[in-house]
Amino acid sequence: MSLEDLKKTPLNAAHRELGGKMIDFGGWDMPVQYTAGVIEEHMATRTRAGLFDVSHMGEIWVEGPDAIRFVDRITTNDVSKLADGQAHYSCMTNERGGVVDDLLVYRFGPEKLLLVVNAGTTNKDWDWISSRHSEHEDVHIRNASADYCQIAIQGPHAETILQKLTDTVLSEIKYYWFVTGEVDGVEAIISRTGYTGEDGFEVYAAADKAEQLWNKLMTTGNEAGIMPCGLAARNTLRLEAAMSLYGHELGDDITPLEANLGWITKLNKESDFVGRSALVALKENGIAKKIVGFEMTEPGIARDDYDVFINGEKVGRVTSGSPAPFLKKNIGLAFVPTEYAIEGQEISIDIRGKKVKAKTVPTPFYKRSI
């Protein structure tokens, strides 16, 4: 795909000015890293603050008297349990129980929800959600992805930096809660979630305010050592925190139960949902494969889709693998038969024709100290 054909976030020019190395990421022109490099960006987020452009993510509004009932019917988590100003992590599943996408659900009120979906699946998600809409439901669905920028500030100094730009008392926002307020005089949604394993915030605002907010956050955070971060550091950070990535740990043929996401799959909630019967049957019959975390015990880096062996037999594949800059280990996530999904299991990874030893370990690999 040519550069002209790639979609661009409102911060595309800012990334280029900062020396971002741009790549085609699912049809988007995005920075994979900046001049400091992946390790520096990763370490800045773990020890100071990292700034991420996630404006390519999709935003879909669901409004109307039947909004909660509708979203409860198409997602695995229990939307009815959300309070106003609260968000949760969830999945949409198909009839077989496979994951259409993982997403965040924000409750603004009893008749207003915001779904935040992955960039590469936004159009697919929109078509799937729209196809589930019944004419008998009083609900209005709107794809507002182009209207918003989304900027994430993550790390130990994130709150201090962002607090300088808003009158909203950030310390009062609990994890997975959000408020509406102003950031640098710009109307915004401020949420406290994240995809790095660190504390931090997401700022949603009008797309034409993206450069103002990005530049102000960079300037304000300069003294604290803030650093712009690209997709590569976002990936190594989420892997250390053992967070799932769609297309790797999740997919149309992978169920949330296999991906260790049973905690967001409420099979007993009052509302039925698409794929529930398949997931109930899977749980009753036994799950054949599961995701495990592993670390290499011999020199070598396990990459995505490398084969996993136990006792000389191929039993699974790596879904995500890379060096862990903060932990200074080579780690990964992999599917293995459930009977081997136990801590300390010795495995081997086929790295370019050589079987390299590893062992399964508890996840998350990294957990921040509070």
Residue boundaries of the structural domains of the chain: 3-56+147-240, 58-139, 288-361
Q: Averaged over 17-27, what is the pLDDT?
A: 95
Q: Is the pLDDT of residue 3 over 80?
A: no
For position 370, what pLDDT does the model report?
64
Q: Averaged over 201-214, what is the pLDDT?
A: 98
b/e code 149-168 from CB counts within 10 Å (16+ = b): bbbbbbbbbbbebbeebbeb
Tens-place pLDDT, residues 295-352: 999 999 999 999 999 999 999 999 999 999 999 999 999 999 999 999 999 999 999 9
Tens-place pLDDT, residues 225-251: 999 999 999 999 999 999 999 999 999
Round to whole Å and give the CA distance between 101 and 303: 23
For position 135, what pLDDT does the model report?
79
Q: Averaged over 217-226, what is the pLDDT?
A: 98
Q: What is the pTM of this model?
A: 0.97
Round to whole Å and give the CA distance between 153 and 48: 10
Q: Averaged over 254-271, what is the pLDDT?
A: 97
The better pLDDT of the pair 10, 132 is held by 10
- Give domain 3-56+147-240's CATH superfamily: Probable tRNA modification gtpase trme; domain 1 (3.30.1360.120)
* CATH entry 3.30.70.1400 includes domain 58-139: yes
Name which CATH class applies to 288-361: mainly beta
- Contact residues for 145 (Cβ-Cβ < 8 A; gap 6+): 57, 58, 59, 60, 122
Q: What are all long-range contacts of 186-189, with beta carbons under 8 Å and residues at least 24 apart?
A: 186/212, 186/213, 188/213, 189/106, 189/114
Tens-place pLDDT, residues 30-73: 999 999 999 999 999 999 999 999 999 999 999 999 999 999 99
